Amino acid sequence: MASGIDSGSDPASPDPFSRLKITRDAGFEAVQQAREQALVQAGEDLQERAKVEAAYDAVLMERLRERQSGRVSSAAASASQREQQLETVSSSEPRGPGLLLSRIRQLSLPTPAAAPQTWLPTLSLVEGQGLWVRLGLAGAGLVLVLLSPTSVELVLALGTIGMFLSQIRRGRRPLASVGWSVLFLTLGVLAGGLVAALLAGSATSLPLSVDQWQSLPALLVLALGALLLG
């Protein structure tokens, strides 16, 4: 006999202490250990496992009756107190999905390091298929401006949107992308206005309208921004 476990008890006996192979003054740890060992020995036999659980419940009830009648040993008192503490903790824990949620909330998840964000752009040429797509769209916009003077405003608007989407795809934040797109459009329009003003004073007849000359630098600046700004 050691730690409240009775190696000579008969597991076939209806006595719960004998079935669990423990003595009547076994402590809480010994009762728990005996129950686990008995369940392991029972294996997949549902009837035998039910008998083990019934014996365990009977031992706990016996401890409760002894405690109520004042006939309780120090080991049994310790077992009863720990049993009550275990039942209190078990009843306070949520069951089912609530238990899973409470466990998830208790996890200490690492806080991801905030990626450094800057408003200053980085210049790098787009590679691969993205390069050809941007060049193709810029070329289509240029042809449309040259062939249709009435489409100048539409092409510039689409070019600004294209530069914005290009920055988004390259990882820049939306607000910063909008700011740089509008800035490049403004610089391009100012450069186009300067070109148009210089050509307007020329005596030679211009093959393009003033709006077309003014939109060409703006379209070029937007195309460069889409190709280089990241």
pTM of the model as a whole: 0.44
Q: Where are the beta strands (DSSP E) in 102-222?
A: none
- Per-residue pLDDT in tens (0 to 9) along the chain, 230 residues: 445 555 444 455 578 888 888 888 888 888 888 889 888 888 888 888 998 899 889 888 887 887 777 655 555 556 556 666 665 655 555 555 555 555 655 554 444 444 455 566 677 888 888 888 888 888 888 888 888 878 888 888 888 998 888 888 888 888 888 888 898 889 888 888 888 777 766 645 667 777 777 788 888 888 888 888 76
Name the burial class of residue 172, with classes exposed (0-12), middle (13-18) and buried (19+) by CB atoms within 10 angstroms of its CB: buried
Q: What angle, 0 to 180 degrees and rounded to 10, lies between the N-to-C axes of helices 210-228 and 129-147?
A: 180
Q: What angle, 0 to 180 degrees and rounded to 10, lies between the N-to-C axes of helices 210-228 and 174-200?
A: 150
pLDDT in tens, 172-205: 888 888 888 898 889 888 888 888 777 766 645 6
Q: Are 158 and 226 in contact (CB under 8 A)?
A: no
Identify which of 68, 86, 67 has the alpha carbon closest to the alpha carbon of residue 77.
Answer: 67
pLDDT in tens, 103-125: 655 554 444 444 455 566 677 88
